[in-house]
Structure formats: C-alpha cells, structure tokens
Amino acid sequence: MKLSKTIITTTLILGGFTLTQAQENAKHEDTEFYTPVPNVVTPAKIAGAAPSDAIILFDGKNLDQWVMTDDRNTPAKWKVGKGVFTVDKSTGNIETKQSFNNYQLHLEWKIPANITGEGQARGNSGLFLASIGKGDLGYELQLLDGYNNKTYTNGMVGSVYKQTTPMVNASKKPGEWQTYDIIWTAPVFNTDGTVKSPAKVTVLYNGVIVQNNFELKGPTQYVGQPSYQKAHGPSPIKLQSHGDKSEPISFRNIWIREI
Ligand code: MG
C-alpha cells in the first residue's frame, strides 16, 4: 500500500514537473494565429446602416431586388415612396430575387400610427426567413403590432410563428420605426430528404434579444405541428401581405450579409 502510494505520488510530481517544464519552454507565439486574415469590413457610421460588404435589399429608392412570390417573373408591386415601401394587400407576398443560405439580416419596419384592429388583425405581416414556395410557405418570424396588443404569445411579434414565444416584448408604439437584426442558420438536409440539422435563428428586436439560436421544428404550420417534410436549398427572403383589414405596414433600410 505504502509503496504504490509513493509511486502514484512520484508519478504525479513527475507529471507536474513535465507540465511545468512544457509551460516554461512555451512561447507566446505558439498560441497565436496569423492566418487566415479576416476581410476588412467598414462598419456603418450610423447604427443600423449597412456595413461595406452588405447586399442592399432596399435602399429607399426601388424594389429592384424583389419580385412577386406567386409569379417570380413579375416585379414586386408594393408601393415605394419617401424612402420607404408599403405593403399592398391587393397584390400578395413579395420576395427577394436572390436566394440565401446562412445570413445576417437587418430590416426596419413601422406599424402605422393610425393602426386599427386587434390581435392578429392589427398590422400583421411577416418576415419569412426562407421562402420555400408560393403563398406563406416558409419559416415566418412574425411582424405584428405588439404594443398593448394581446394575442397568442407564440404568434406575437418576435415569435417564430406558432413555434416559440419571444423572451420579452420590446415593441415600440405604432408610428415609430422598429428594427429586426437576425442571424439565420439554414437547415441542412440528408440526400434522402430528411433533416440533418434543423434551421436556427437568433433575433434582436429593437436591439433586444428575443430569440437565441432557436431550433425550428420545421417550416411554419398554421394548423397542426410543424416538421421538415421536404429538402430545400438556398431560398429567397419573403415579406407577407396578410389578409386582415388593418392599415398596411411599411419597411425601410433592409440589408443582408451572407455568412
Ligand atoms: Mg404574419
């Protein structure tokens, strides 16, 4: 007993000695990397403005980067004016010409000051993080008036619609511009079409985190449980023209950076 204890103690001391020796011989350079060198990106001077390497999806002038969802050959018909564009509910959803995989997205939107209606019928739109077909097919981050407007919590602004409730309600009053900053990780599929890794999303709403790397259960499902049914690749980003009768919402300053 005594002998083995001595051996163990000696081994520990030797081990400790070896480790100490290695640390003494180590140089600070050993743990410093010099490649790869990150690309230079010039950050915006104004908070929320696009950094130098962003793809501008709306700069206040036109909807050249957007098409009608249900007929992608048709340019987006929503109304542009005074540096913003506004949902035209008579026309349908719009989406980007370009498709994206993983990205960082900035988007600003405003519920009109004179908004009427309640619950889901009060400034309802939606940001589909990936549009996977016509109509409302895709993964919807809800856009809705959230200022003293009661509705089911997994359908309020900041929710991944019908999947998860936002951590907090950081809504501003109707009439004020609001921001979404989003980090989207697209789902990855196996060759047989089953999901390999689910989509994930992090959302800052008016600068406040409301979703932290939330794993989506599948594309948005209005009725029933969501699940991944069909593989898809990079997808457009879509904005919803919701069928309720409330005043249409507006957008400005939309940019994206592919990750
Ligand atoms: Mg919606």
DSSP string over 187-206: -EE-TTS-EEE--EEEEEET
CB within 8 Å of 142: residues ≥ 6 apart: 124, 126, 155, 156, 157, 158, 159, 160, 161
pLDDT at 18: 72
What is the predicted pLDDT for the residue at 86? 98
Statement: residue 2 has pLDDT above 90: no
| Spatial CA neighbour of 93 closest among 41, 145, 132 | 132
For residues 178-206, average pLDDT: 98
Query: How many angstroms is it from 118 CA to the middle of ligand 1?
Result: 13
Distance (Å, whole) CA 188 – CA 29: 38
Q: pLDDT tens across 184-197, in order? A: 999 999 999 999 99
**What distance in angstroms lies between residue 125's CA and the mean position of ligand 1's atoms?**
4
Per the CB < 8 A criterion, the answer to whether 257 and 55 are in contact is yes
* pLDDT (tens digit per residue) in 88-109: 999 999 999 999 999 999 999 9
pLDDT at 8 over 80: no
| Segment 108-138, tens digit of pLDDT | 999 999 999 999 999 999 999 999 999 999 9
Tell me the CB-side half-sphere exposure of residue 10, using CA atoms within 13 A.
6
Find, among 249, 120, 240, 76, the residue nearest to 178 by Cα.
249
Question: What pLDDT is attached to residue 241?
Answer: 98
CA of 49 from ligand 1 middle (Å) equals 25
Best CA proximity match to 94, nearest among 123, 120, 62: 62
pLDDT of residue 23: 81
3-state secondary structure of 13: helix
pLDDT higher than 60, residue 12: no
Calculate how far, in angstroms, residue 93's C-alpha sits from the geometric centre of ligand 1: 11
| Residue 250 to residue 228: CA distance in whole angstroms | 31
Q: Between residues 5 and 255, which one has the greater pLDDT?
A: 255
34-87 pLDDT, tens digit per residue, is 999 999 999 999 989 999 999 999 999 999 999 999 999 999 999 999 999 999
Architecture of the CATH domain 55-258: Sandwich (2.60)
The encoded tokens of residue 164 equal 């998860």
Distance from the CA of 35 to the center of ligand 1, in angstroms?
44
- How much is the average pLDDT of 208-216? 98
Which residues share a beta bridge with 126? Answer: 142
Distances (CA, A) of 39 to 42, 49, 81, 98: 10, 19, 35, 23
**What pLDDT score was predicted for residue 19?**
75
What does the pLDDT average to over 187-215?
Answer: 98
Tell me, what's the pLDDT at 1? 46
Distance 203 CA to ligand 1 centre (A): 16
CA 124 – ligand 1 centroid, Å = 5
Are residues 157 and 205 in contact, defined by beta-carbon separation less than 8 angstroms?
yes
Asked if residues 97 and 125 have their Cβ atoms less than 8 Å apart, the reply is: no
20 band by pLDDT with thresholds 50, 70 and 90: confident
**pLDDT tens, position by position, 139-163:** 999 999 999 999 999 999 999 999 9
Q: pTM of the entire structure?
A: 0.90
